Amino acid sequence: MASAPAAGGYAGPGWFKAVCDLAAEEAGHADFAAILDCGEEAGTVLAALRAGLRRVRFTGAAAAAERLADIAAQYGAVIELGAAPPALDLADAADPEAACRAFFARNGAAS
């Protein structure tokens, strides 16, 4: 599960953490990973780590990314750098199952 680009800045880490917690509760035993995109905002990365998120994306300066990676390691977290991989947004999908199959076929995942 991935946030929209730079969502950490405008929606906040607390909101994303609540969505992740609800998804984990609803999914039961399903295993999933979640990543909050913090854009270029180092402060948002720090807030996300304090909120308990363990995967965040940062697209800011390399020097800041290096410092943030050290801090993230202390939290047992990971900072992902650069552009996000392709994602699937089902919000407007008329047929979510077909949209999933097409997305996975384009991106090399087994169906």
> pLDDT digits over 39-52, tens only?
999 999 999 999 99
Q: What is the C-alpha end-to-end distance of the chain, expressed in Å?
A: 18
pLDDT category at 26 given cuts 50, 70, 90 is: confident
In the chain, the amino acid numbered 47 is A
Tokens 């405008």 map to which residue? 10
Q: Quick check: 111 pLDDT over 50? A: no
Whole-prediction pTM value?
0.81
Residue pair 77/53 in contact by the 8 Å Cβ criterion: yes
Reply yes or no on whether the pLDDT at 33 is more than 90.
Answer: no
pLDDT at 104: 83
Angstrom distances, CA of residue 21 to CA of 7, 56, 95: 17, 16, 26
User: For residue 69, what are the CA distances in angstroms to 31, 36, 52, 64, 72?
Assistant: 24, 15, 15, 8, 5
